[in-house]
Amino acid sequence: MRQKIKIVFLLIIIAAACYYFSNKSKEFEQLANLTWSQIALVSLAVMGSFLLTGIVFRNLFDSFDLKLSLKEWIGLPLVLRLGNLLFFKSGTVSNAYYLKSRHSLTYPKFIVALGSLKILELYALNLMAFIISLIFYINGSLSPYIIFILLFLILVISVLLFSAPFSIAKWKIPFQEKISKALEIWFNFKSNKSPIVLLILLMALLNVLVGLRFYVAFSILNHPISITDAIGISIMVSLTGLVSIVPGNIGIREGVAGVCALYLQHDFDYGVIAIALDRVVATAWTILLGIIFFQLLHMKRVDKDMESELL
């Protein structure tokens, strides 16, 4: 039932996007007139964020005593992104299977690792949003209530990340054993504060790079915005991306960017189109590189397993 709702929602978004884009042919003419140098510039920014995502992946699994090779920490995030783009969570499932068969990483550890990354990303985004909000507040363009809300969220996540471990042994709740196991893995992960701080800094830097991607996209469309505004849009887009309603949050990402651009006194349409440009380039590279690394990592692993069974 849940899958059917997602599919219906996706079809509604696609229909709305087709209607919107059909009425914006003039604005989209700029995309058809892009030069190879402009496409290369967007691609360079996209590649930079892909590389940093791989570094985040490597440091994340280092915290779980798993050393990934260069090929793995660059390729696995791309395979995850490609799979989740094509089919619901298939990239996540395929990576979980790969790491279990190749490195004996248990499924609970994999789930906790990705869940931990989401929490750290939320923490980094809230910290950045707090800093950006202070800048906007000083300029007199933001309510102080937003700052208080962000500060409250930062404090809540700080307690979650840095509080002492506790036991649920005496609690009588469903799936107590599985929850206890997950909490044990989580407590072991957050017992070492240095990797957590490093991951938070890397996630913040990654969001700056995504903001740079948006900054480049707006500039190419001859609607330049400040780097602060670009990072602000990146934060909001990334926050909505923490919960994936449809594959790749297609349509939602562009809509949020358009609303943020309008709030920041820029053009709504060019907010949508700039992020659409970024998506097209990023998706093209994700498909190309994702297929290559899927072949190098997953398919070669399958071939080796088949050979060992035959022998």
Residue 56 covered by a domain: yes
d(CA 1, CA 51): 37
Residue 286 covered by a domain: yes
**Long-range contacts: 249-258, Cβ < 8 Å, 24+?**
250/10, 250/13, 250/14, 250/17, 250/279, 251/13, 251/14, 251/16, 251/17, 252/13, 253/279, 254/17, 254/279, 257/214, 257/233
pLDDT score for 248: 64
pLDDT score for 49: 93
Q: Name the domain count of the chain.
A: 1
Q: Which of 10-19, 51-60, 211-220, 283-292 has the lowest mean pLDDT?
A: 10-19
Instruction: State the pTM of this model.
Output: 0.83
Share the mean pLDDT of the chain.
82
The residue range of the domain holding 97 is 36-305
The single residue listed with the structure tokens 């920490």 is 73
d(CA 80, CA 92): 5
Contact present, 76 and 288 (Cβ < 8 Å): no
What tokens were used for 244?
């994936």
Decide if pLDDT at 239 tops 80. yes
User: pLDDT tens digit string along 275-306?
Assistant: 988 988 999 999 999 999 998 887 665 545 54
Decide if pLDDT at 152 tops 50. yes
The single residue listed with the structure tokens 């790969």 is 98
pLDDT score for 311: 46
By CB atoms closer than 10 A (0-12, 13-18, 19+), residue 303 is: exposed
| 172 φ, ψ (degrees, to nearest 5) | -110, 90
d(CA 133, CA 136): 5
CA distances from 146 to 89, 123, 142, 204 (A): 33, 16, 7, 20
Helix or strand (DSSP H, E) at 252: helix 252-263
Residue 119 covered by a domain: yes
Residue 152 covered by a domain: yes
Contact present, 74 and 55 (Cβ < 8 Å): no
At 29 the three-state DSSP class reads: helix
User: pLDDT tens digit string along 172-191?
Assistant: 656 667 777 888 888 888 88
User: pLDDT tens digit string along 243-264?
Assistant: 766 666 777 788 888 888 888 8
d(CA 189, CA 115): 11
The single residue listed with the structure tokens 């500039």 is 219
Name the more confident of 310 and 153.
153
Name the more confident of 47 and 135.
47
pLDDT score for 193: 84
Decide if pLDDT at 271 tops 80. yes
pLDDT score for 307: 46
- Percent of the chain at pLDDT above 90? 31
Residue 17 covered by a domain: no
- Percent of the chain at pLDDT above 70? 78
Residue 93's Cβ-side half-sphere holds a number of Cα atoms within 13 Å equal to 8
d(CA 108, CA 208): 31
Residue 172 covered by a domain: yes
**pLDDT mean over 103-118:** 90
pLDDT score for 169: 57
Residue 25 covered by a domain: no
Decide if pLDDT at 221 tops 50. yes
pLDDT score for 87: 73
pLDDT score for 76: 92
Decide if pLDDT at 84 tops 50. yes
User: pLDDT tens digit string along 11-37?
Assistant: 666 666 666 666 655 666 666 677 888
Residue 22 covered by a domain: no
What tokens were used for 299?
């398919």
